[in-house]
Amino acid sequence: MIFPNFSEEHNLRQSGYKYIAGVDEVGRGPLAGPVMAAAVILPIDNIPDWSKSVRDSKKLSERQRELLYDSIISESIATGVGSVNPANIDIHGIGEASRMAMRLAIQQLHIKPDFVLIDAVKLPDVNIAQKSIIRGDSTCISIAAASIIAKVTRDHYMMGIDNIYSNYGFAKHKGYPTKAHMDSIDKFGVCPIHRRSFSPVKNAIERSDR
């Protein structure tokens, strides 16, 4: 079994790059809430013990993610988060909105990276040397760390928004299309953080207009 490791980062360091950021996004699939991305520059010369536990965020429990989130935030060289709201997702589409969130995350780093490792996509309009890695969150530790930051940040946001739109259960399903979420849309209609361009939401709006 392959776990995230520092091989990409070490190879880039040998090529002369100093600040190497991993970038990943979360929230492409939900029917509600923002798409978020994170950028993380890990300490490569003094590798922390917790890095051995870093995995793709989807392969960790909520408790594991929370613990690693705290370690990554406190001990990374830099972290940045970018968020694109549902209105802009509807305007630009989820693919471009995801790239927008990634660009914002890179911009939020207080140290500009000289190389970025990105999960699956390319950012041609970002004027930084880069590499797109398919399944990068499973093999590259900087990307996996970014996936944890993005996931925990988005989960916290959705838990907070649940206090405003309490009928929908956002704290539990985080906006993903679970049966409970679909049932709440049928019962209460859509709310301002729903993605109106997504088919289940669009169909619900059309049904309510009949």
E strands along the chain, which residues? 20-26, 35-41, 78-84, 115-119, 130-133
Tell me how far apart the alpha carbons of residues 75 and 41 are, in angstroms, rounded to a whole number: 10
23 and 108 fall within a common domain? yes
Which DSSP state fits 60? S
Tokens representing residue 16 in the block: 């002369």
pLDDT tens per residue, range 156-166: 999 999 999 99
Q: Are residues 44 and 101 in the same domain?
A: yes
Do the domain assignments include residue 210? no
Distance CA 61, CA 200 (A): 28
What pTM value is reported for the model?
Answer: 0.96
pLDDT at 104 over 80: yes
The residues with which 39 forms a beta bridge, in sequence order, are 23, 80
Decide if 69 is inside a domain.
yes
Q: How many structural domains is the chain composed of?
A: 2
Q: 189 lies in which domain range? A: 170-205
Q: What is the mean pLDDT of the chain?
A: 96
CATH number at residue 155: 3.30.420.10
| Matching residue, tokens 């699956």 | 120
pLDDT tier, 210 (very low <50, low <70, confident <90, very high otherwise): low
Note the pLDDT tens digit of each residue in 139-182. Answer: 999 999 999 999 999 999 999 999 999 999 999 999 999 999 99
Q: Can you say whether residue 174 is alpha, beta or left, with left for phi > 0 and alpha for psi between -120 and 50 degrees?
A: left
